[in-house]
Every structure is written in structure tokens, then in C-alpha cells.
Structure 1
Amino acid sequence: MKILKDILYRVNIKAIAGNTGIAVGDLHFDSRKVQLNDVFIAIRGSLSDGHDFIKKAVDQGALAVICEEMPEHKVNGITYVEVEDSKRALAYMASNYYENPSEKLKLVGVTGTNGKTTIATLLFQLFTNAGYKVGLLSTVKVMVGDKEYSAIRTTPDSITINSYLNEMNDAGVEFCFMEVSSHGIDQHRTTALKFEGGIFTNLSHDHLDYHKDFAEYRDVKKRFFDELPASAFAIVNTDDKNGSVMIQNTKAKTFSYALKSYADYKAQILENQFTGLLLKINDHELWTKLIGHFNAYNILAIYATAEQLGLKSLEILQLISELNSVSGRFQYVVSEKEKITAIVDYAHTPDALKNVLETINSIRTKNEELITVVGCGGDRDRTKRPKMGHIASALSTKVIFTSDNPRTENPETIIEEIEKGVEPQNFKKTMSITNRKQAIKTACQLAENKDIILIAGKGHETYQEVKGERFDFDDLKIVNETLKQLGK
């Protein structure tokens, strides 16, 4: 049990009705989870308003209610606290409840459109290999040392984040690497956390179903760096024009990384093959098993972060050379007989798809076909769909448009919107097969000796979401099994 007034430390309070000196149980913003003596925080969401469930929470035993608007009818014995912003209040309350766990380890946030999962996961891998106890909060999974949990969203809610960080404190974790999404920043899920550092990867077309426009999307990302303390570091990709924007108002110590322009951390690609990259980083040569120029950026960010966290240069280079690729990020298999390379990648934005296709084209000899299987998720940013169609058809020799996670949308409608981006000269390259498994099978049937298949969009996901249900679906498993069945 905790004392309510202690949990409310730093919360912007407008009015109180009742006693804040009471002992309370758990914090909840979902009224269905409320039990005796718990605190209910009423959050205004896009689909529902928590204020409509205050009575239900009290009926279930809530002892205190945090809200942006006091209810007309108050129940005797219940404490009501009116706050400026419930989401922000929740962030501070969650942090206070778990005794500010982010202050007891070194927390590094990674934000940007592409590369967040790769950088956070590889930093977890690198520091683990260096002998430290490490935590990870990512799209793919949550790690508390060697204990693994499944991830529900890129940046969890404030209660979940602080609960995991508290568990990391108990486990003796020294470093934690965390993906920070624009949704997470905008909804104050990362507010009240103390970050040791922040990394900016890049900014391109994504989440415009949520944000009004690109400028708002950029400014939300920037807010993460605006809120870093003076004791923190900020590492930004200055080959992206938004890199300098991110750090305009930050109090943190700033560092830059780049392949094309002057930067504190600079790299040159010496060799780029399907087996890996040979890089020159600040006059040191390095071989890595990671592939593609986009991974050169990721490696630079990792190198810079590790150095700012106290590791020595030569040790970092050695550790980077041992890193393995991240699940669903340029993962590939090569068929036994015809040596067909099948690549699975999470590329679900125009920029990410372009990066992956350009990387493949820079490596292949052009004697092989490049067959791309791609779709777009339903109930998400529709404006990127024709851009994905344009890029896929322009940079591949054959393209199969298919279903991704259609969610509540009609998959045929999504495919039609993707097809609108195909230019007339590329029409003959394309076909549409709604069933994703059949689309992958067709790509395998079309592929011949040493051809390349790219299956983009879902990456690490092992499910397909259709009409509110999730069905088992693993791109890598399906393409591997199909190639074997076809005897290729």
C-alpha cells in the first residue's frame, strides 16, 4: 500500500475533494481492472473517455479517482483529485508509485521513424556481451536481463514501463535501452522518466493517421529531446535534415553521426555484401554481419552511444563485430538447391522499403530477379499506400501486392490504393494476390536460380490481424518451408 499524497508528487493538481493522506492499492486507467482500495485514473482516449467509467470504478472498490473534470455526484469516503492532464498525471504517479526506477539505472531512448528496434536491440545485445545486466523495451520484446516478456506496443503505458523498470532495479540491471514512439511521447508515456541519453535515427512518412501532418509528427519527436536533462546526451543523425531540428532546444550534450556529412561519428562503407559490411568508423576498420547502408547508420548510432556510456573504442568495435541481426530486420534464408535468397524485413514505411530495396540492388549483380511481396496495414496511414506501390514497382523486377494486417479494412481496397502509385511503365511487373501465404508461394514459384525474394512489411510479427482476430503467420517460416517443398 502507498500513501496517495506521495504518489501525487509533481502532479499539476487543480482541486481536491477528500483526503489524500489515505493508503491506496494499485493504479489503473482501465476500470475493469480496479479492485478494492485502488486508484482509478480517468484518461480521455480516441475511442472512449475514462470519465464515463468513474462510477463503475468506484462501484468496484476504487478509493481515489484522478480526473480532468470532477463528477457531478461524488461518493462519500472517496477522494477525487482534479488534474490539468490525466495522461501526464498518470506518468508522474506511476513513476512515484515505483519509487522512480528510471533514476536507478541508465535509460537510453531511441526515437525516429526507422531503426528504433534494431538500435535498441543491438545495444541490449552489445552491453549484455560486454558483461553487464541489461534491460530492453522494444516493439519485438521486453527483456529484464535474461528474462523475456512479449511486447504489446512499441512504447507501453506509464504503469507498465515503470513496473518493468522497477523489476530491472530488483534484478540489478545497469543499462536499459528503450524504443520511444511518437504516440508514446504525445500521450506522455515517457514523461517523468529520467533518460541518460536519447538517439534520433531519421524521420520519414509514417503515422499520419494519428498526427495531423508531418510537421506535428516531427515536433512530437522533438519534444523528447526538449525534455532531456542537462546531464543527458543526445545523439542525432545529421544526414537527415531533421537531425539538427531535434536538438535545437535541448539542454543535453549533443553529438552527431553521419555517412555523408561532417559529424562527430563518421563512417565510410568499404564493402557491402549479403554476408555483411566492411566499415571505416573514425579511422578504424570494422567488419559486421549486418547488411546495408541503413545498418551502417544503425552501427554508428550504437558505436556513439556505447562510447558515451563509458565503453572504450576498441572494445566497442570488437563487440559490434560479434552482433547478430535483429528478428525480422533483413533476416534471410538461402535455398539449398537453387540458392534463392529470401529476405524478410519489417519495412512498412516508404523510406524503409526504399532503403531495403536499394540495399539489395546495390549488392545483386542484376542477373537475378528481385521479386518483392508487399502490402500495407489496415486502419493506419492511408496516404503512404501509393508511395509504397510506387517504390516497390520502381525498384523490383517483379512485385506481388498482398495483404499485410488488414485489421478492420477490406484487404482488396488496401491493395487498390497501393496500386495507384504504380507508374504505367511498371504495370507489367505487378500482380495482386490478396492471400499473403499464396503470394509468398507464388514468389517462390516464380523465383529461379540465385533470384532474390523480399517479403516486406511484417518482419518479426508471427501473426496476421484480420477483423479483430490474430492468426498465426510467420513470413520467414512460410517462405523457408515453401522453398523446401518446391525442391528449390
Structure 2
Amino acid sequence: MNISSVLSQIEYKNFSGNKDTIIDNITYDSRKVSDGFVFVAVKGFIDDGHKYIKNAITNGASAILCEEIPEDCKALCNFIVVENARKSMAHLASVIYDNPSANLDVIGVTGTNGKTSITYLLNAIFEHVNKKSATIGTLGVVIDKEHVKTEHTTPESSDIQYLMNKMLQKSIELCMMEVSSHALELDRVSGTNFNIGIFSNLTRDHLDFHKTMENYYQAKKKLFYLTSNNNIVNVDDEYGNRLYKELKRDNVNVYSYGIDSDADIRASNLRTTIKGTKFDLNISGIKKEVYVKTPGKFSVLNSLAAIGSAYCIGIDIDLIIEALGLYKGVDGRFEIIHSNLDSTVILDFAHTPDGLEKIMETVSEFATKRKIVMFGAGGDRDISRRAPMGEIAGKYCDLTILTSDNPRFENPYDICEEIAKGVKKYSNNYKIIVERDEAIYYAIKEAKFGDIIILAGKSTEPYQDLGIEKVPYDEKSIAIKMIKKIEHELEKDK
């Protein structure tokens, strides 16, 4: 594709250079540039891509997309000048990669919690009915069993368009994408055609970026005006209920789902054990019994979102229910770690007050003995959620172990002390163990017959962010190692 063809499909302020030049790739990283690439100079919060234009030209860039042309580079390359390089990158990438989302059913999932679980539930449903699907999200990108690591929950726009183009090459029919509030605010999904949008919930998070809950909500809301088919919204959630009403007012297609509300897609009569939850489903007047292997109200809500979306796509309701009954769950989401101990160890990603409370509520439904929780909070992030997480732990648990979780440039002990202020409102039975490995060992070692231990916060996240570096970390492997160590110690003591 030549530059002339591209310019006819995007908005730009001016162009200088040769319009016959061929371009077939796009990147915002000057180190990845070679012949045929457009380099996009993005102005970020910390760095400015305009500083790397000369590097990109040296590496063989065929064109530069930027907001201003450096004086010493004007005659060195083809320049497309735009108002907003980040936003224009999304539309240019869609053009270069032949508008891939127009040939995929793209389901966007947004919300504070539940995004990963919903995308993987949908993937399980589509696999069950032999529809090829792919996922983009917190756990990376999965295309036809191939796993690609990504830096963000929702990648940059040029990466999204490239990945969707790759999906089409693999004959993928559906793409489930976790759409973060950052991605919506920073135009990463501009240029993407969404078939369905899902709203799971909105609770306090990312206020270091959005500043207020209203800004956070308005960022999330953007997704539901990008959809072509339908939207599925959790009206049990306060912000979801508001969103549903606003979409209805604006004549945007939307279905509601919930447990406590009179929703279009509703669950009732929940029966929960540690092995899962059964519930009665009512969708468009159709009544069915559903079983999901992950227990709890939050799991049922996630299932309702997946059921509604798959039903809108045209999947038979009985096949949807059948798939959910077979699905084992997402790694690291309420995952029970096998052991020979007489207690139960659960691994979960809960890292917000709402996420932690949902796990605690679920465990409380079937726990017969003590509940022990181990978790921390991220450094250089919204500090207002630390004490509330401590309050939840103190309220629901018999023992709380506070530890390090991505402290970045903060002192991890100080972060734990902030959390402890909340714990102490309900209980003084807590312990600070900064070294996370030691905290895991202590939590499991302290457990007695019938106790439940929740290791919360990191789950499958593959690193500890220490600010100056990200150290490889695998919570599940460490937990298994500590379980085996304790099993060995108990065997020796017999």
C-alpha cells in the first residue's frame, strides 16, 4: 500500500515527501523500525516519541507520523503531520492492516473486576461449539493456542490491529478483548469495530490516573458507543445500573444482567459449595439450571455476562450451559491448589477492595473453620484502597498476613502498615512479613484442620515490580513448593 492510498483514508494536517512510497507496517518503537515501517512519534506521560524520529529514520523508516517535524529531519523522510499522533496511530494501523476488526466478531469486556474470567468463559463456550476464538487481556494474547506476552492489559492500538490481522490469518472468527479504562482514555481501541460490549462492574481503582470515580466511569462508558450489535451490562452494580439507563436513553442496544435486579438475563436460587455454584437462569423467558465450577456470586455474574454475549452471537443456550458446566476455570482465579494437607489453599488475583470482598464473601458461604488471607498492595498507586482492603481482611478473616506486592519505589513495610490501619478496625490478629515467600509459608504453616488460606493479589502475574527492576515471580510455583516443604516437615514429625 502506498502513502497516497493511506492518506485518502485518514485525517491529517499536512504531508511532505513522496506519496508513492510503500508502507506495510507501523510501530511506536524506533528500535523495531525497518524498511516499509511508519514510525509514530507518541507523546507520553514520561517520554516523547519525537525525540526518536532521527533514530527511526536511521533504522530505515519509510514514513513518520508525528505532531511536529524536527527541523534537522525535514528533508530526511516522508512526514505525515497530525493533530494527535496517538489517536491517529489507531486509525492508520487499522488501514495498514486492512481493517481486521471488520472481519471479526470483537467482544470488548470492561470493568474493574471480572474481565479476564469473562473472556475465558466466552473462549470456553466458543471452543465447545467449534468456533475459533482468540483472547487479548491481562494474561497476554492467545491466538490458536499460541501465547504472546503483552505489557498492558489492552495493548497499544498498532499492536491490537496487528494481532487482529494475525487472527484472521489463523481463521479466527471471534476475538474477546479486555478493554481497560486506560486504553479507552488513550485511544488504544480507536479504529476497532466492536460487535458487543460487556460491563462487569466499577469500583475504586486507578484513581492515580483518573483522579475521580466520575472520570473513571466516563472512560469506561466510551466502549458502549463503539459497538455495532449489542451491550451486556451488570445492573446489580451501581455504575452498571446508571450505564444501562443512559444507554437506553441514547437508544443504544443494551441487555441487563444481574442477580438482585429484575434483569433481562437473571440468575436466582444460588446454591454454593467449594466445588462450584448451581443457579436458575432466566434469559428472554427461557428458564434453565446452570452449574459453574468456580463458586460464588461473582462467578455467577461473570457467567451471566458470558451467557448473554454468546446468546447474542447466536449460540444455542443448551450448548452454552453445557460448555460452562465443563469449564474448569481460569488459572489463578479462585484456583484451589492441590495438596495433602488438611487445609485448603486458594490462589486468586483479587487486588482491589471489591475483588477481595467478593472472594471473602464466597469463602464465607462454605467455610466451616478459620479463614486466613495473605496479600499486599502496590506501591506508587492509589493509596486510598489500602486501608479499605485491610478492613475487609479484618472483618472476614481470622488471621491476616500482610506482605509485599509490587512495592515499586515505596517501602513495602510502610505499605503494609497502611493496610494494617484498616485491619485493626476489626482485629488485631495480623502479621507483617515483607518477604512474600516467607509470608506464603507462614500462612500455610499456621493453618489447622479445615482452615482455608487465600493467597491474594499476584496470582499469575509473572513478576514483582521493585521500581528499578521487575523480578520474575511465580506465586503458584512458590505456593506448591511451600506446601511440599510443610508436608515433608509434617511427615518427619510423625
By the TM > 0.5 criterion, same fold? yes
The separation in 2 between residues aligned to 1:154 and 1:292, in whole angstroms, is 25
Listed as ranges, the matches of 1:178-193 within 5 Å are 178-193=177-192
The separation in 2 between residues aligned to 1:414 and 1:71, in whole angstroms, is 44
1:324 to 317, 323, 328: 328
The separation in 2 between residues aligned to 1:388 and 1:120, in whole angstroms, is 26
Match of 1:131 in 2: 130
Match of 1:433 in 2: 433
The one-letter amino acid of 1:214's match is M
Listed as ranges, the matches of 1:172-183 within 5 Å are 172-183=171-182
The separation in 2 between residues aligned to 1:334 and 1:313, in whole angstroms, is 33
- Which region of structure 1 is more displaced relative to structure 2, 183-192 or 72-81? 72-81
Partner SS, residue 235 of structure 1: strand
Match of 1:419 in 2: 420
Match of 1:154 in 2: 153
Identify if the C-alpha distance between structure 1 residues 125 and 375 changes in structure 2 by more than 3 Å, giving closer, same or farther. same
- Which region of structure 1 is more displaced relative to structure 2, 430-439 or 11-20? 11-20
1:350 to 342, 350, 353: 353
The one-letter amino acid of 1:113's match is T
The one-letter amino acid of 2:442's match is T
CA displacement at 1:18 relative to structure 2: 2.7
Listed as ranges, the matches of 1:476-487 within 5 Å are 476-487=476-487
Contact residue 395 and residue 426 of structure 2 kept, 8 A? no
Partner SS, residue 13 of structure 2: strand
> How many residues are aligned here?
481
Identify if the C-alpha distance between structure 1 residues 74 and 255 changes in structure 2 by more than 3 Å, giving closer, same or farther. same
Which segments of 5 or more consecutive residues in structure 1 lack a partner in the other structure? none
The separation in 1 between residues aligned to 2:91 and 2:242, in whole angstroms, is 27
Listed as ranges, the matches of 1:13-32 within 5 Å are 13-32=12-31
Partner SS, residue 303 of structure 1: helix
The separation in 2 between residues aligned to 1:25 and 1:395, in whole angstroms, is 56
Match of 1:100 in 2: 99
The separation in 2 between residues aligned to 1:9 and 1:468, in whole angstroms, is 45
CA displacement at 1:475 relative to structure 2: 2.1
Residue 444 (1) aligns with residue 444 (2): yes
Aligned-pair identity (%): 36
Contact residue 333 and residue 341 of structure 1 kept, 8 A? yes
Match of 1:466 in 2: 466
Identify if the C-alpha distance between structure 1 residues 8 and 239 changes in structure 2 by more than 3 Å, giving closer, same or farther. farther
Listed as ranges, the matches of 1:391-406 within 5 Å are 391-406=392-407
Which segments of 5 or more consecutive residues in structure 2 lack a partner in the other structure? none
CA displacement at 1:251 relative to structure 2: 5.8
Match of 1:291 in 2: 295
Match of 1:303 in 2: 307
2:243 to 220, 241, 246: 246
CA displacement at 1:360 relative to structure 2: 0.6
- Which region of structure 1 is more displaced relative to structure 2, 45-54 or 405-414? 405-414
The separation in 2 between residues aligned to 1:214 and 1:235, in whole angstroms, is 21
The separation in 2 between residues aligned to 1:464 and 1:443, in whole angstroms, is 19
- How does the TM-score come out when normalised to structure 1? 0.94
What do residues 425-446 of structure 1 show as CA deviations (whole Å, max 9, x unaligned)?
A: 41x2111000000001111121
The separation in 2 between residues aligned to 1:19 and 1:381, in whole angstroms, is 48
- How does the TM-score come out when normalised to structure 2? 0.93
Residue 454 (1) aligns with residue 454 (2): yes
The separation in 1 between residues aligned to 2:332 and 2:269, in whole angstroms, is 23
The one-letter amino acid of 1:57's match is A
Partner SS, residue 117 of structure 1: helix
The one-letter amino acid of 1:220's match is A
Match of 2:230 in 1: 233
What do residues 277-313 of structure 1 show as CA deviations (whole Å, max 9, x unaligned)?
A: 0110012112221111100100111111110000111
The separation in 1 between residues aligned to 2:405 and 2:150, in whole angstroms, is 19
The separation in 2 between residues aligned to 1:306 and 1:321, in whole angstroms, is 15
CA displacement at 1:25 relative to structure 2: 4.7
CA displacement at 1:128 relative to structure 2: 0.8
Alignment RMSD: 1.8
